[in-house]
Amino acid sequence: MPGRATFGAEHWHNYVTVNKHFAARTIEALEKCLEQNKALDNNTPPIIWIHDYHLMLAANWIREKAEEKQLPCRLAFFLHIPFPPWDIFRLFPWADEILQGMLGCDMVGFHIQDYCLNFVDCCQRNLGCRVDRNNLLVEQGERTVRIRPLPIGIPYDRFVTLAKTAGKLLKSDKQKIILGVDRLDYTKGLVHRLMAFETLLEKYPQHKEKVSLLQISVPSRTDVKEYRELKEEVDQLIGRINGRFTTANWAPIRYIYDYVAQDDLAALYRDAAVCLVTPLRDGMNLVAKEFVACQINASPGVLVISPFAGAGEMMHEALLCNPYEVHAAAEVIHRALTMPEDERILRMSRLRRRESECDVSNWMRSFLKAMGTLDVDDVGTTIMQPVTVDDFDDYLLK
């Protein structure tokens, strides 16, 4: 969301300082690790796995110092948020430094293919790197950096156990609950969601007194002005909708602005008729996966997901909902509420099968495979092909 971005040289200086500090401490930890490995007669180079946007510069300094001290290691980076397309990324004043920092790794991972392609495109257009889009490779100096889609999972079995043991929190079986669980963040599309629910009640009055939206908003960055303003906007919108539709026996929206214990959350996931995961932008969104894991009832609920969440790329059995299209979103919610049971069972069973297979342990195994540290038949192409005359022709045509 470039319109909300502000760039400050002092902030950038602090970011660089923090990354250098982490790099220095990582080298200290690497030295200790290598000493322990030597004592155990283990010659395998340790893997340093750097996570998320907080440390996008650290890899280059780690590599530089490790080579200087002759400390063998392999470096990987994983970004948990979306990587933007080039026309947005180039707005950032220090875009080149970010790319060079990430390319200090041997492998860079993202949640989905689109983010990988965005990164590869930025490396070519900003830095002039030679790239292989088909095999997701970027040439950086004398090294070839692998770019890999590695969608994260959840501890699936743990959520299933929580759902089985959690007590019942929703007292009435006659009223359907639409559940939303988010940080209070402008990327989560809460205002759009509330407007869609209001439109639902306008267009389909038969849902009045039969359906409630339970929105859980976890406090986030309460010291930031924009987040406080968002809270005020959400509070006012909920107040207006409740004031408009509330009856003596029913309030359309129940709002929890607080942290919710995981076992309570599992109970709500389990018993909700619909779960709305409708961010305006999100790297993956694990709420969608947690909801699916907890759907153990014989008559399951329905997942509604935004195409702008990474999870929307792979959870094909969910109902897709563009949060920007408020009236269309209301129609999707109505469809979810009125979906026949046999269709709900079919969709949810397929979602559950996939999430049980692609859990967080599978994510770790996929990472190790991509790093080439497991005995596997094929870890994909890892080396750029030599430059040919045709390559020069291609570049000249651009």
Rounded to whole angstroms, the Cα distance separating 308 from 285 reads 10
HSE-CB for 37 with a 13 A CA cutoff: 15
Taking alpha carbons only, the member of 87, 114, 112, 103 closest to residue 138 is 103
Q: How far is CA 65 from the centre of its chain?
A: 32
Q: Say if CB 348 and CB 317 are below 8 A apart.
A: yes
Distances (CA, A) of 345 to 122, 172, 298: 42, 22, 8
Per this entry, what is the length of the chain? Answer: 398
The helix or strand, by DSSP H or E, that contains position 13, with its residue range, turns out to be helix 9-39
141: phi > 0 → left, psi -120 to 50 → alpha, else beta; which?
A: left
Sort 339 into a burial class: Cβ within 10 Å, 0-12 / 13-18 / 19+: middle
Q: Say if CB 118 and CB 86 are below 8 A apart.
A: yes
The helix or strand, by DSSP H or E, that contains position 212, with its residue range, turns out to be strand 211-218
Structure tokens at 326: 């408020």
Contacts of 353 (CB under 8 A, 6+ apart): none
The sign of the CA dihedral 106, 111, 117, 120 is: negative
- Which amino acid is it at 3? G
Rounded to whole angstroms, the Cα distance separating 242 from 33 reads 58
- Catalogue the active-site residues: 80, 282
Structure tokens at 120: 């590869």
SS3 call for 250: strand
Q: Hey, which residues does 147 pair with through a beta bridge?
A: 108
Q: Map tokens 């049971």 to a residue.
A: 341
